[in-house]
Structure 1
Amino acid sequence: MIYEIIGWLGAFLFILSYFFLARGIWKQEQARYHFFNLGGAICLVINAIHFSDPANIVVNGVWGAIAIMALYKYWKFYFRNKS
């Protein structure tokens, strides 16, 4: 039951982040957009591991890695311009 809730939470985070992006409420350059994507990816990877779904593990693992790269780029830019 807990793994299903985690999976639904991940799906909700993905959908919510894309909805806010599509509506222009969030921008692609904002960290919160990438945090929601990372959170969604982590939740869906946990769900996929529990249910032994290798394709979803890979897809969401890659999605999470992309979110991490985007966050790294954001923080690097943020701290470079802050000083």
Structure 2
Amino acid sequence: MKTNLLIEILGWVGSVEILLAYGLNSYQKIRSDSAWFYLLNLTGGILLIVYSVYKAAWANTFVNVVWVLIALIAVLKLSQTKRSSHTKP
């Protein structure tokens, strides 16, 4: 029973994070190439993967795995860009 409640909470938090990223970007509060946007999508997607695996919702799991991979690649590129800009004179 407690596990089910925890998984439900994680699913809702993940959903809110992804919607928050989209909403903040849509209203130009954060940029789509910002660390906040990527991290909200990354952590939200991870939480939704946990939720959808627990619920055996494989189509949703697939979508969120792809979502997380896209966000992870974007975070890595952003970190490389920032790292290279700090090393240039």
User: What is the TM-score of this pair, normalised by structure 2?
Assistant: 0.91
Q: Deviations for 1:18-46, whole angstroms, at most 9, x for unmatched residues?
A: 11100101011111100000011000000
RMSD: 0.6
Q: 2:30 aligned to 18, 26, 29, which one?
A: 26
Structure possessing the higher radius of gyration over alpha carbons: 2
**2:75 aligned with 1:71:** yes
**2:57 aligned with 1:50:** no
Taking only the aligned residue pairs, the percentage that are identical comes to 28
Return the alpha-carbon distance in structure 2 between the equivalents of residues 59 and 12 of structure 1.
Answer: 16
The amino acid that maps onto 1:81 is S
Structure 1 stretches (4+) deviating beyond 2 angstroms?
A: none
Unmatched tracts of structure 1, length 5 or more: none
User: What is the TM-score of this pair, normalised by structure 1?
Assistant: 0.97
RCO (CA 8 Å, sep 6+): is it higher in 1 or 2? 1
Matched residue pairs, number? 83
